[in-house]
Amino acid sequence: MSPAAVQAERAARRAGPASAAGLQGLVALPQQVPPRPEEPGILRALGGQLLHLGRHSRRRLQDLRQREGGLEGRQRGWGSPAPGNVPEGAPEPPEGSAPHSRRRSASPPPAAAPACRRRAAPAAPTSRSRRGPSGARRRASPREAAAPPRPCPAQLSHARSASHTSTAHCTPSPAPSERQQPHPPPPTTALGAVVLLPGRGGADPRLGAQARRGRRWRGACSAVAGSGECSGAVAMLLYCCTSAGRARQCFHALKLIKKDCLLSLRVSLCASTASVPRITTHYTIHPRDKDKRWEGVNMERFAEEADVVIVGAGPAGLSAAIRLKQLAAEHSKEVRVCLVEKASQIGAHTLSGACIEPRSLEELFPDWKERGAPLNTPVTEDKFGILTETSRIPVPILPGLPMVNHGNYIVRLGHFVSWLGEQAEALGVEIYPGYAAAEVLFHEDGSVKGIATNDVGIQKDGAPKATFERGLELHAKVTVFAEGCHGHLAKQLYKKYNLRENCQPQSYGIGLKELWTIDEKKWKPGRVEHTVGWPLDRHTYGGSFLYHLNEREPLVALGFVVGLDYQNPYLNPFREFQRWKHHPSVQPTLEGGTRIAYGARALNEGGIQSIPKLTFPGGLLIGCSPGLLNVPKIKGTHTAMKSGILASEAIFSQLINENLQSKTIGLDVQEYEENLKKSWVWKELYAVRNIRPSCHTVLGVYGGMIYTGIFYWLLRGMEPWTLKHPGPDFAQLKPAKDCTPIEYPKPDGKISFDLLSSVALSGTNHEHDQPAHLTLKDDSIPVSRNLAVFDGPEQRFCPAGVYEYVPLETGEGSRLQINAQNCVHCKTCDIKDPSQNINWVVPEGGGGPAYNGM
């Protein structure tokens, strides 16, 4: 039920039986005609604006009218009686006074209230807004047909599209005796239903009587109407608030604008759901079974059977595959292991700092050095500092603190993952690069059956091409999900199995990285530098790294991490990164150098508090998918690999157990989670659990440093309390009106660079003629809420320039444009979108960045 309908029912209960009975004849509740998926957003946005206006005085509304340029002929608000409706004995208003400024002593008789008849120019039947969710025209319900005459509401027009124009007119109502009984039902709305609550002295005399007896009636009403003849550009909004003796404040928020019916509120720049350009064409939002273009298309899929299917060829997924084949060889068993990876080649989507601990690698391959693992740069120097705008304050790294990197290796993680892939293939693992897992398959008993790869050969508008092919189904006894941070299949599993029931919301960061070749004189192989502070304020979690690699050329890896729980919608992580490079302690290292690569990736920062349940019937989660990153260390490769090893050992023990009696078709490997909690991974994450949440105090990041220096160094995580995160990252964003815009310096093209030239270095590419994989649940939300309230934060938090707001063709308002080809698969938009309207899904396999050793 919509918020307006909920408020309507509550108001009816407060007003008493008589009013409730009257309400039944006047309100067409949304459950009778369910709105289309894109409708609630615009209702919330418009209704919220009217709620806000309803609490203000007449003066505020007069100011609003003046700002909007005035009304032709000064259309009457509901607080003023229309000609012929002035009660007997009511004083005449002063000459020259605005009609809406009069104070009414009593409500006009309902029969004399003005009514509205809409005349619209006929339009071609192309607008979806004229039909209900099922596509058929909605017939008026008996309740609507019996409704008393409605007062003339304001008719508000959204930005008109180039192909649709319409006008609406209000004409005086005929005399009561001339009216047809019953009154014609209200027109079917573009949003599927009319929600109408009359004000004091409105259409229903019973409601007026309740008000005169002192019963306070408050109703919130959002009516967005468009008849079958309208092309979707006209919307009517109604908000009623009545109380005894205060009819004047009962809704001047509505007004009439004769010709163009322009929207009178701030949302006038927002296109209606009927006129919003269609952005999302993906079948996850618009099912193909309802699309006539897909009639007759062969939708059968070929299926393969395996013992274990692994999704994602990162450190965790490859470690799991390798360990399974090692165990199979040790026990002389045949185990078929299939691994799918959406990148065109192994390692092409892998990005990290990276300074790794070799602990898990030594467990997996004790002879890793002899095998030629690309760990070429042992850490020789470790530095940490706090940056101010002009200086660097060195901070000593005491033994035992998480930042100690002695014994670790600086690596190019993409090269390391590629090497792991070679080892897996040598052991017999079937690896399928360029195949993106798009769907989780389930048995009839609810357990996971396997996965299906995505379909290929679909046009940008969602229609099938001549080359259309269905994806491949891979069935397995156990499916291992190693998608990495914020995997799109893992999100589905969280909801289906309620895996996050007993954990806190996950917290994330966005990491941006560049590779540079620098002057050999400035090159210090093995040096590791970390900083916090400038250019971020103390309430924004983040920091930087600068690693000197021992490669054939003088190479440095530098990056910047920003916690996605930041509050200012004007913050731009990419531009913060570019500004940081100009710091006096950083710029000298880069001067004279050449930037050769760029990329970005989200990372988990929630810690042990945010780890969900890891097992479910038929599958399990490993690596960064559930969030096993050690945040203070800024390391997760070693914990991810260990989780893959433990998962394989638990899976293999069930596969070879001949006496195993599973309750479900898909095996439920609960032993994996139990073993992980007994391992050094869990102890390590538990010890640092409070460091990241401690940054949410008034001291911000510096409070976290103090906490680390005192409690962690002394107690090693043995404190008897566990701090909590403030909530989901998207909920931390403040409205733009409460924040100060951030002025960023222009890039100089030598140290700092623009976004598009940076994305070009990532090698990102997608097939252009395919539906955008960045889907919107509601195409109207970006403009009606994100732009109106937060000033379009997606155009700043995206590190690849995917989102931008461009003017509408009519010149009135803006629309969101999605440049899906730029996407580097970082998942930041899915995480930080304040409306949670963006849903990232996989594009065609092989698309995305083409990182080389990032």
Confirm if 103 and 90 have CB atoms less than 8 A apart: no
**Residue of 116, 241, 250, 798 with catalytic role:** 798
Active site residue 116: no
Active site residue 637: yes
Active site residue 815: no
By C-alpha distance, which of 735, 736, 755 is closest to 744?
A: 755
Q: How far apart are CA 436 and CA 455, in angstroms?
A: 9
Active site residue 829: yes
By C-alpha distance, which of 621, 613, 343, 633 is closest to 484?
A: 621
CA distances from 325 to 334, 425, 798 (A): 9, 10, 39
CA-angle at 463, arms to 804 and 438, nearest 5°: 75
**Residue of 152, 785, 829, 835 with catalytic role:** 829
CA distances from 133 to 130, 161, 323 (A): 10, 22, 50
Pinpoint the alpha helices (H) of 232-388: 315-330, 359-364
Confirm if 519 and 543 have CB atoms less than 8 A apart: no
Active site residue 823: yes
Active site residue 679: no
**Residue of 130, 823, 828, 835 with catalytic role:** 823
Name residue 618's amino acid.
G
Q: Output DSSP code: residue 685.
A: H
Q: How far apart are CA 394 and CA 391, in angstroms?
A: 10
**Residue of 637, 648, 764, 780 with catalytic role:** 637
Pinpoint the alpha helices (H) of 25-147: 39-54, 58-67, 142-145
Helix (H, G, I), strand (E, B) or coil at 3: helix
Element (H, E) at 451: strand 448-453
The phi and psi torsions of 235 (rounded to 5 degrees) equal -135, 140
- 811 burial type by CB count under 10 A (0-12 exposed, 13-18 middle, 19+ buried): exposed
**Dihedral over alpha carbons 525, 529, 535, 538 (to 10 degrees):** 170
Confirm if 319 and 368 have CB atoms less than 8 A apart: no
Residues paired with residue 384 on neighbouring β-strands, in sequence order: 530
By C-alpha distance, which of 454, 783, 799, 479 is closest to 615?
A: 479
Look at the block and give the residue holding tokens 């290929």. Answer: 456
Active site residue 798: yes
> What count of other Cβ atoms lies within 10 Å of the Cβ of residue 13?
12
Give residue 185's Cα distance to chain centre. Answer: 39
For the chain, give the number of residues. 854
Confirm if 848 and 823 have CB atoms less than 8 A apart: yes
Catalytic residue IDs = 352, 601, 637, 798, 823, 826, 829
